[in-house]
Structure 1
């Protein structure tokens, strides 16, 4: 089944009519919905303060907190991954953007553990001082594919491809002693997601 907005294979079915959407189109839809929620929250806060002012009460009570601003890296908006300025010019922004979109999709699908694993590994890889620029880019590309696969429905995941890429990634990160703890914590989470599905 293809996305109703483009020729990419669909990963989601939206609404009562089960409209098929790919990851990128689904992400755009969720971004629009997120902006609508944020606008509604701001309006509720404003109306609450206005009613308090009319009634002569001080503006107090619970309010929706302001949402954090997304990070923009060379034109790519990151909502989940924290990137230090020192690595901005050294990473493949397309791949890191795909990783970030997949984290959002995973979190919205209730796969919080996988979302945290992808986020933790991405940030550790980008900040590592033991990995070369080429190694970081290769790992981010691998993570972008694995993250996109993990965001797909379990019966649609390409488990063999993902496990093969994960094995390659773990061998590369074994060279980086400064992120050993993070890798030992999160790589097994990703392996388990594809191993369980494959088994």
Structure 2
């Protein structure tokens, strides 16, 4: 992977396909000039993947949501699913607020993602 660093000790507890997909989307965003949103997605993905305090099932669910958000980010505005994006960001928000280690990363990533997607 080019954009995301995952600790070897957590590789077995995450879906590396999700992380690889997010990594590809980040590369596409960078190539298109979306440096800020790609950085936010990379930091969020690393924080989730590398946090041993997050139960494995929850970590996989969160990475699914980040993968969906990153997939939507590379689509044109007309092809995006705004209701689903809002729901995914809401779920990430709820978890991040309840997970001390994610709170700081999320407080930086959330406004970037909301602005990128044009969500209030």
Same fold (TM over 0.5): yes
- Residue 83 of structure 2 is aligned to residue 175 of structure 1: no
Unaligned runs of 5+ in 2: none
CA distance, structure 1, for counterparts of residue 7 and residue 14 of structure 2: 11
Q: Where is the helix percentage greater, Structure 1 or Structure 2?
A: 2
1:160 and 2:62 equivalent?
no
Determine the C-alpha separation between the residues in 1 that align with 2:76 and 2:87.
19
Q: What residue ranges of structure 1 are gaps of 5+ in the alignment?
A: 1-77
Greater relative contact order: 1 or 2 (C-alpha under 8 angstroms, separation 6 or more)?
A: 2
The aligned length equals: 120
Report which of the two has the higher share of strand: 1
Larger radius of gyration: 1
1:139-150 equivalence runs, <5 A = 139-150=62-73
| Cα distance in 2 between the residues matched to 1:172 and 1:180 | 9
Render the CA deviation track for 1:30-82: whole Å, top value 9, x for unaligned: xxxxxxxxxxxxxxxxxxxxxxxxxxxxxxxxxxxxxxxxxxxxxxxx11100
What is the TM-score normalised by the length of structure 1? 0.57
Question: RMSD over aligned Cα, in angstroms?
Answer: 1.4
Moved more, 157-166 or 142-151: 157-166
1:185 to 100, 108, 114: 108
